[in-house]
Amino acid sequence: MTVLVAPERTLGMVQVAVAQFAPTDDKAGNLAVLTRLAGEAAERGAEVVVLPEYSMFTVPAMDERFVASAESLDGAFVTGLREVAARRGITVVAGMNEALPEGGRIFNTLVVAGPDGELAAVYRKLHLYDAFGFRESDFVRAGEITEPATFKAAGLTFGLQTCYDLRFPEVTRRLADAGAQVVALPAEWVPGPLKEYHWTTLVKARAIENTVYVAAAGQIAPMGSGSSLVVDPMGVVAASLGEAPGVAVAEISADRVEQVRTTNPALALRRFTVAPRDSAS
């Protein structure tokens, strides 16, 4: 395997890409598309690439096929992600269907493959999509409430959350409390009336209220709404995509986070903390 030498990084500044496509039931094909998109992002200077939820495998209905497709963290999909990250000298964030030892259901899991080819972080979705006529919990087990999942890139701290988590502001607040300056948000934001409006509004809201960047990468049609975007801590869209497959790259800066937090010290001024509720099964 040829390993590319990563460019010299400036601490506190990083190029982040959001990449979107339409995963199918062809796991090898999905990995090939993901590899191509990550390569394009790297060639455009990206050091962190965020890809959609369920990048490994997606079909139109949430059913037993998701369980049958599941793999462990040392399976072919994660191995492929690690190889892509090492070959390109980048960090890759993507969603997978993680097998449970007892079968029957899966974890909806985000994995972060670092430029050294090792896993830098793992996050299992906390809030399952039992809404708008869907029942994700029939086939997916919610992750345990643990310390927030974070990783580092160019001296910046990234936090992880998934799709429906976006509708629960306390998830992003916990990431901010854990030191996150950037939130990586893979999604399969299912299309529907006003759903794209909800998506862009909530991404901007989470960025503004927590004074963080949000890098949100969604699936495109038929199962997602596309519209992947990177939003800065003031809610300004730094890069975005429409409905087609592709890559968008934005520069993220720790100085920008500090500047915004000096102007708007909302995190320091708040008078409430976030406490967990009982775990979901």
Burial of 11 (0-12, 13-18, 19+ CB in 10 A): exposed
| Domain annotation covers residue 4 | no
Q: Is residue 89 pLDDT above 70, yes or no? A: yes
* Residue 278 resides in a domain: no
25-36: per-residue pLDDT in tens? 999 999 999 999
- In a domain, residue 164? The reply is yes
Q: Per the domain annotation, does 116 fall within a domain?
A: yes
The CATH number for 50's domain is 3.60.110.10
How many domains is the chain built from?
1
Residue 256 is assigned to a structural domain of this protein: yes
Residue that has been written with the tokens 């927590």 in this structure: 210
pLDDT tens per residue, range 125-134: 999 999 999 9
- How high is the pLDDT of residue 176? 98
Tell whether the model's pLDDT for residue 256 goes beyond 70. yes
Mean pLDDT of the chain: 95
CA distance 55 to 30: 7
Q: Which residues are the active-site residues?
A: 53, 125, 163
> How much is the CA Rg of the chain, to the nearest whole Å?
17
Report whether pLDDT(10) > 90.
no
Q: Which amino acid is at 147?
A: E
pLDDT at 281: 53
Tokens 């999942």 — which residue? 149
The answer to whether position 276 is within a domain reads: no
| Residue 9: per-residue pLDDT | 60
Domain hosting 128: range is 14-268
- pLDDT of 277 > 90? The answer is no
Q: Is residue 5 part of a domain?
A: no
Please state, in angstroms and rounded to a whole number, the distance separating the CA atoms of residues 129 and 195: 14
How far apart CA 17 and CA 219 sit, in angstroms, is 14
Token look-up 């999905």 returns 30
Residue 61 covered by a domain = yes
207-245 pLDDT, tens digit each: 999 999 999 999 999 999 999 999 999 999 999 999 999
CA gap 37, 31 in Å, rounded: 10
What is the pLDDT at residue 11? Answer: 77
What average pLDDT score do residues 97-113 get?
96
Taking the whole predicted model, whether its pTM rises above 0.85 is answered as yes
